[in-house]
Amino acid sequence: MKVAVVGTGAVGSATALSLVERGGTCREIVLLDRDTARADGVAADLRSSARAGSSSRTSRP
């Protein structure tokens, strides 16, 4: 399943992190934010978390 998180503020980041930590909930997480640099930073943080044991993939359109 592919999940899109709109907004990478506190709530969006926490939601995306929760999806990564659950592992297996979704296969791909797409982050959408007006501030693309912030979305890229959150995606990088999530990739680091995902390497610790999840099979989720994070991306930004």
CATH number of the domain that 52 lies in? 3.40.50.720
For the chain, report the end-to-end CA distance as a whole number of angstroms.
Answer: 16
List the pLDDT tens digit at each of the 61 positions of the chain: 899 999 999 999 999 999 988 877 888 899 999 999 999 999 998 888 776 654 555 556 6
- Please state the pTM of the whole predicted model: 0.76
* CA count, 13 A, side-chain hemisphere, 36: 3
- Give the whole-angstrom CA distance, residue 61 versus residue 51: 21
Full residue range of the structural domain in which residue 49 is found: 2-59
**pLDDT, position 27:** 86
Say how many domains are in the chain: 1
